[in-house]
Each structure stands twice: as C-alpha cells, then as structure tokens.
Structure 1
Amino acid sequence: MILISWNIDSLNAALTGTSARAEETRKVLEKIHTERPDIIAIQETKLRATGPTKKHQEVLAEEFPEYHYVWRSSEEPARKGYAGTMYLYKKELAPQVTYPQIGAPGTMDEEGRIITLEFPKCFVTQVYTPNSGNGLKRLSERQVWDQKYLEYLKQLDQQKPVLASGDYNCAHTPIDLKHPDNNHHSAGFTDEERAGFTNLLNAGFTDTFREINGNVEGVYSWWAQRVRTAKANNSGWRIDYWLTSNRIADKVKRSEMLDTGARADHCPILLEIAL
C-alpha cells in the first residue's frame, strides 16, 4: 500500500489558479498521481464550507478519475476559507469515514483539521495541526490540542493499528531543521511543542521517516515561501510526518519526501507499507 500526504496550501489555487505557482502546484499533483498511491491525504485545502465547487469537482474527476474523495472545511464560528482537509482514495476501497471532534479549545474543532478512514485492518487518519502563531499567541491552545489529539490517536490504536499523517507543525529534534539554534523560541520548535510530539511517540507511535532513514540530516518537508533563498539553500524544517502504531512499524518499506523542485512551502511525503 502506498499513501501520500501533502499540505497543498490551497486546493482551490491548485485546481483553478492561473499563476506560475499554481502551475508548479499542479505539476506536483501530477507527480503524486504517477506514484499511483492508494490514498492521498491533503491538508490546508482552504475550501469554502460547502466544499469543492462544481469546477473543482470537474477537475478532480478529470485528473484523478480512479479516486473517490471526502473533505472537511472550516465552518463558522471558525474563519472561512481556512485550514481544511481532504482524502482521495482508490474507488475499490470502501472506508468508513469520520470527522472527529476531539474537544479542542477555541474554534479548532470547527477548522476542518482531522479526517479518519477506517478499514478492516487499520485506521488511516490525517491532521493539520494548529500553528502556534506569531508571537506564540496560540501556544497555550496548541498544547491543549496536542493532548486532545494524543488521546484521540490512543483511542483509535486501542481498536486497531493506526497510520497517521499530516502537517504537525513541529520539528521534533534539532536535526529536523536547518537552524535550530536560531529558532528555539519560534513556533514549531518550542520546548512545549517538541514535548507534545515526544508524548505522542511515547504513547506507542513511530516516526516512520526516522525508523527507515535513521538520523540522516538535511532532509526537510517545508521551506518558508517568504524567504526567497530558503529552498535553494535547503534551509528547511521537517514538520510533516507519517506515524504508525509501533506494532506495525516493521511493515514500513519506504518513508520519504517527494521532490518539488524550486517550489517552496511543503513537499508531499510518501509511505509504503505492507499491510
């Protein structure tokens, strides 16, 4: 089974945009398609509350004809056109789909951040973890989120093995970003966020990239768009993950990033597992 997860930074722009960046994003979607994944998880869709428009549906049907899709968007009282997630899965699959509320603070549960697919032998779930924000103004809420999300994953894991992916907005260790010393108090690399991710792993989950690739350095999944030289200089962060329940970690064959060329922001991450 091959699964790919990607923070796309606006599915609307990818499907209907005319800018150079939209073209770059579509090329990445084409690259994902060539991998023939069974499941594609997409974060930060930024779709309206009513979901894909008719035009979006037409493009998805044309570009991904062998897939069904399900989506979850930000809804009031949360911000419109914010966050959001989507799954595309092969039509021969027939998962039970849930859109969990985890008891998160503020409007986080209304921001379309989690979708879960249930299969006979496992759960596949994705998350778009809230960013702690400029000045860490959302850090305290983020800490509550991390605890609630951990409780949710543990609940799934008690039933059957879990494959969890997404943008976790956390570089776990110093080798997961290019400049750890300069970012100790930056969102995504605070002691609190890193401790939250450690708690997640300690609860019975494996960071599959590290499991397969060891302590390799200089491999990242995100490069800041606003810093023009970030991608060219590989000044990145690894904040996107494929996690598995510990008891199936030995079945992972590949856990890697897909190259996006000069396009900054997130790159897709691929998991191949023999279930």
Structure 2
Amino acid sequence: MKLVSWNVNGLRAAVRKGFLDYFNEVDADIFAVQEIKLQEGQIDLELEGYEQYWNYAEKKGYAGTAVFTKKTPVQVTYGLDGESHPEGRIITLEFENYYFITVYVPNSQRSLARLPHRMEWEDQFYKYIKELDQQKPVILCGDMNVAHQTIDVKNDKSNHGNSGFTEEERGKMSRLLDSGFIDTLRHYHPDRDDIFTWWSYMKTVRERNIGWRIDYFIVSDRIKNQLQDAQAHTDIYGSDHCPIYLGIDI
C-alpha cells in the first residue's frame, strides 16, 4: 500500500503549481494533506477513484486537513476523539486492521508565545494516539512541527531553542517514539543528515538544502516488519514542504 502526506501550504495554490500532476503520478492508496487554507466550497477537486474527507479550520485561509482514500474506511472522526476543533488539525480514518491519522500540529510561533498551548495540545494528542493504539495499530502522518534530532535540522546549533527545535517540543516527540512507535524514515535512514521536508522561502535556501525535517510517517512498533519503504520526495515543489511517502503491507 502506498501512502503519501504533504503540507501543501494552501491547497488552491498547490493545485496551480502542479499538485494534481504529482497526485496522479504517485497514485497513492491514501493521500493526506495539511494546511489546506480553505473553507468548504472553495475548491472542487475531481479525484477519480478517491473518497474525500475534509476538516476545515473556522478561520479563513488557515490550517485545515484533508484525506483522499481509495479504500472506504469503517469510520471517520475529526479532531481529538471525534470532537470538532476550530483549527481542523486532525482526521482519523478507521480501517479494519489499523487507524490512519493525519495531523497538523500547532506551531509554537517564532516568539514561542504558543508553546504552552502546544505542550497542552501534545499531551491531549499523545493520550488520543495511545488509546487508539490499544485497539489497532496506528499509522500517523503529517506536519509535526518539530525537528526531533540534531540531524533533522541543517543548522542545529544556531536553531537550538527556536520554535520547532525546543527541548520541550523534541521531548514530546521522544516520548511518543519511546512508547511503542517508529519514525519510519529513520528506520531506513538512521544517520542521514541531508533529508529535509521543509525549507524557508528565502532565496536559494531550498537549492542549497538548508532545511528542517518536520513531516513524519510514524507507525506502531508492532507493524514495523510490514514496512516496505519510507522516502521524502524532495524533488517535488509546489509548497515550502515536500511530500513524504510510506510503503507498507497492511
């Protein structure tokens, strides 16, 4: 099964920049997007063979998530434990043998003004993931807004303590991974220090690969033997993030 996740930083803009070319070429079984930045009725995507599930933010032009799937889920819930959330950050698809979750984790902001909210949100999300994992294996994907290790940031020393690379945020990711989950890209590339998924729009930054790895596919440890491949499709443009890919037999 082929899975893709992509923070598109505005789906309408991404469509103008070739999103559908990539979507059709990769032919994923499930394709998740974050930061769609639109409201219901603002886009009409004809994706033959796919069911579409949307979680819009209440604020216009902000956040939001969507999932496009070839396989019909048993159930779909939005937000934490089925509760609606004004920022549209989570969609959970329950299938017969697993849960598929896409998430757009809140940014702590440059000034770290939102770090306390982020920490509270992380605790709620962790509880939610662990409860699901007790029922079925979990496949979690999306923009986690944290670079976990020093090799996940090009300039780790100068970025230490900045939003997305604080000890607090990294600690929450460590807690998740230490409690029975796998960072799938690191499963295949434990020491690569040149794989990033986000780059600033500043001139030549992406060309010089001065980036951060903040987008992940994370799965329950007990299905690691079913993993087939994990990649970052860094050659695909259209957003300040690149798509990430997971192959899994489940």
Deviation at 1:80, TM superposition (A): 2.5
Q: How does 1:175-186 map to 2 (within 5 A)?
A: 175-186=151-162
Unmatched runs of 5 consecutive residues or more in structure 1: 16-21
Per the alignment, in what secondary structure is the counterpart of residue 150 of structure 1?
helix
Q: Using a 3 Å threshold, how does the CA distance of structure 1 residues 84 and 262 change in structure 2: closer, same or farther?
A: closer
Structure 1 equivalent of residue 72 of structure 2: 93
Contact 1:73/1:81 (8 A) holds in 2: no
Deviation at 1:71, TM superposition (A): 0.1
**AA partner of residue 72 (structure 2):** L
Deviation at 1:14, TM superposition (A): 2.8
Unmatched runs of 5 consecutive residues or more in structure 2: none
Structure number with the bigger relative contact order (C-alpha 8 A, sep ≥ 6) is 2
Equivalent-residue separation in structure 1 for 2:237 and 2:64 (angstroms): 25
Structure 1 equivalent of residue 11 of structure 2: 11
Equivalent-residue separation in structure 2 for 1:266 and 1:230 (angstroms): 12
Name the structure where helix makes up a greater proportion of residues.
Answer: 1
- Superposed CA deviations along residues 87-133 of structure 1, whole A, max 9, x for unmatched, are 0011x4344111133699xxx93100000000000000010000000
Structure 2 equivalent of residue 255 of structure 1: 230
Contact 1:172/1:189 (8 A) holds in 2: yes
Equivalent-residue separation in structure 1 for 2:120 and 2:73 (angstroms): 33
Contact 2:14/2:238 (8 A) holds in 1: no
Deviation at 1:194, TM superposition (A): 0.3
Deviation at 1:261, TM superposition (A): 5.0
Is 2:188 the counterpart of 1:217? no
Q: 1:82 aligns with which of 39, 62, 70?
A: 62
Deviation at 1:263, TM superposition (A): 5.2
Contact 1:232/1:262 (8 A) holds in 2: no
- Superposed CA deviations along residues 59-104 of structure 1, whole A, max 9, x for unmatched, are x21xx212110100112xxx322100000011x4344111133699
Deviation at 1:34, TM superposition (A): 1.1
With structure 1 as the length reference, what TM-score do the two structures score? 0.86
Equivalent-residue separation in structure 2 for 1:102 and 1:137 (angstroms): 26
Q: How many residues align?
A: 250
Contact 2:146/2:165 (8 A) holds in 1: yes
Q: 2:163 aligns with which of 152, 175, 187?
A: 187
Runs of 4 or more, structure 1, over 4 Å off, are 261-264
Q: Using a 3 Å threshold, how does the CA distance of structure 1 residues 86 and 262 change in structure 2: closer, same or farther?
A: closer
Superposed CA RMSD: 1.8
Q: How high is the sequence identity, in percent, across the aligned residues? A: 41
With structure 2 as the length reference, what TM-score do the two structures score? 0.95
Equivalent-residue separation in structure 2 for 1:89 and 1:103 (angstroms): 19
Structure 2 equivalent of residue 242 of structure 1: 217
Is 2:249 the counterpart of 1:269? no
Deviation at 1:229, TM superposition (A): 1.7
